[in-house]
Amino acid sequence: MPEYVVQNIIVDDSPVCSECAYRNLFFKTLQDDQLNKISLCKNQQTFKKGEVICKEGSPVTSLIYLHKGLVKLHVNTHDGRSQIINIAKPFDFIGLMSLFANPTYKYSITAIEPCSVCFIDIDCIKHNIQTNGNFAIEIIEKMSKVNEDVLMAKFDMSKKNLRGRIASILVYFSDTVYNSNEFNLPVSRNEIAELIDMRTENVIRTFSEFRKDKIIKINGPTIEVINPDILRTISEKG
Amino acid sequence: MPEYVVQNIIVDDSPVCSECAYRNLFFKTLQDDQLNKISLCKNQQTFKKGEVICKEGSPVTSLIYLHKGLVKLHVNTHDGRSQIINIAKPFDFIGLMSLFANPTYKYSITAIEPCSVCFIDIDCIKHNIQTNGNFAIEIIEKMSKVNEDVLMAKFDMSKKNLRGRIASILVYFSDTVYNSNEFNLPVSRNEIAELIDMRTENVIRTFSEFRKDKIIKINGPTIEVINPDILRTISEKG
DNA sequence: CGCGGCTTTGATGTTCATCAAGTAAAGTGG
DNA sequence: CCACTTTACTTGATGAACATCAAAGCCGCG
């Protein structure tokens, strides 16, 4: 299985902030001494698949970012069901979306693969925003981007039919997350259903159709995309 | 017809920034002299119904906010159709959403009622963010809130059926926008369809059903909500 | 007056949800 | 390690909700 590749930077496990791959993407306006101060109020943890990283309704005390792994952002609906807002990979700034909007999280974050996560105290971040104008701009730009991406993804999804939605999820995993035509599906059929706003049975049916149409192969948890071009076409036209 | 009422502040037409109702909601961390500098790089304009305030794809040069009137944020789909992201009223910070995310607008903004709009040069705003930490925090919080509201609105809408969607739109106009059970519908049936992601015919059908069920009265462009309680129930349960 | 756009209603078709029932896989406790 | 339970997956049949197609009425405007 391939490693995560994000913008050609291989994600490492360095515990030192100043050497963290995030630095160049997010904290580049901070000097070493400022970064070291942030180091002091950060807290790095690992999570197993299925473990809850933060829970809907709990107080927002940290800027969370995903160092390594894969997570889902999800909300529970009134009728006991779950709805997945987004599946996020490293560098997706998972906690940024409602960091400053609310005192409590509007959604839960759960690991769907083993994760390494950094929590940085929110007051520490706020202090840096207030005292470092460039950092403020950087945060704002990142936040805007994250929000817009999520919104546009939802928008695009709502325009597609069942086949188009399934295809776009498969393209997402193969192109954006794993960068490979063969990968272990990290989510259940039911979770895919929650993500694309359809029912489990129809997710399965469409998988079977794609298999019969020789677009994908399914070997237990492994998906192999045989015909990426058709998949992309279905994803776009569907 | 009622005036716009937003958080009990009647929107006036004052051209002086320091007396603008927005000041207390948004620019309260700015001193008079800072605000006066902003005054110098602002530009207030009026738009008639149907006029385009900003166009998808054009460069983002200003923070746009709606002083008076009603606008729609919309995108054009590949197949020539239009999709409405949001209908915004004064104080909704219409241009904030993708202000810092992109060099060009991802959506168009069009007046659906006569509007008074303020454009503030983006470099001017950026300068204030960089030099005034509290202003930076204020902008960030506002942005988060706007984004979250739009996202949650879309989320809630996607869970409702046809009747629920129509009901929620009517509740939105009567409770949030016009604060009255009687109002002139500022959008066509087709525009409502674009907003709730259904077809024009079904919007009309549902309007007719609500009329037959004595929930609303329709007199030309005027809608009167006869039974607000049932409407709210349909909006929530649908 | 008549043209074009918006609205309305009815008939028909598609897509997807729901229900049902059965199989495979993965834990669980003796 | 094996019976037992549970959870995920799979397939088919049926129905409901909404889209699409068609046709006609209304209304403002040149």
Residue A165 has what pLDDT?
Answer: 97
Tell me the pLDDT band of B7, cut-offs 50, 70 and 90.
very low
- Residue-wise pLDDT for B165-211, tens only, equals 999 999 999 999 999 999 999 999 999 999 999 999 999 999 999 99
Contact B71, B88 (CB under 8 A): yes
A67/B174 Cα distance (integer angstroms) = 46
Q: A161 CB contacts (<8 Å, ≥6 apart)?
A: A238
3-state secondary structure (DSSP) of residue A8: coil
Q: Which nucleotide is nearest to A220 (CA to C1')?
A: C25
Question: Residue B15: what pLDDT?
Answer: 58
DSSP assignment letter at A7: T
Chain B residues with CB under 8 Å of a chain A CB are 75, 77, 83, 85, 97-102, 106, 126, 129-131, 133-134, 136-137, 139-141, 143-145, 147-148, 150-152, 154-155, 158-159, 197
Q: A145–B101: do the CB atoms touch at under 8 Å?
A: yes
Cα–Cα dist B152/B159, whole Å: 11
Number of alpha carbons in the 13 Å side-chain half-sphere of residue B68: 19
Provide the whole-model pTM. Answer: 0.88
A108-119 exposure pattern, b = at least 16 Cβ within 10 A, e = fewer: bbbbbbebbbbb
Q: Note whether B120 and B63 are within 8 A (CB).
A: yes
More confident of the two residues B2 and A34: A34
DSSP B43-79: EEEEE-TT-EEE-TTSB--EEEEEEES-EEEEEE-TT
State the best of A93, A96, A100 to mutate against chain B, taking most chain B CBs within 10 Å.
A100
Query: CB of A173 within 8 A of CB of A182?
Result: no
Please name which of A68, A60, A81, A170 lies closest in space to residue A111, comparing C-alpha atoms.
A68
Q: Which residue of B has its CA nearest to A153?
A: B151
Q: How far is CA B68 from the centre of its chain?
A: 11
Best mutation target among A29, A143, A233 (most B Cβ atoms within 10 Å) is A143
Q: Which residues of A touch B74 (CB under 8 A)?
A: none
Q: What is the pLDDT along chain A (238 residues), one digit of tens a residue?
A: 334 444 334 444 455 677 676 666 667 777 777 777 777 888 889 999 999 999 999 999 998 888 889 999 999 887 778 999 999 998 777 777 677 888 899 899 999 999 999 898 999 889 989 999 988 998 888 888 888 888 889 989 999 999 999 999 999 999 999 999 999 999 999 999 999 999 999 999 999 999 999 999 998 889 999 999 999 999 998 7
Query: Which of B102, B148, B236 to mutate to test binding with chain A, by most A CBs within 10 Å of its CB?
Result: B148
Nearest-by-CA chain A residue for B136: A136
What is the average per-residue pLDDT within B212-231? 93
Shortest distance, CA A37 to any CA of chain B (angstroms) = 18
pLDDT, tens digit, for every residue of B58-73? 999 998 888 889 999 9
Which residue type, as a one-letter code, is found at position B125?
A: I
- Closest nucleotide to A201 by C1' from CA: D10
Q: What is residue A35's predicted lDDT score, i.e. its pLDDT? A: 79
Number of residue pairs across A and B with CB atoms under 8 Å? 104
- Residue–nucleotide distance: A42 CA to D26 C1' (Å): 67
Residue-wise pLDDT tens digits, B25-70:
667 777 777 777 778 888 889 999 999 999 999 999 998 888 889 9
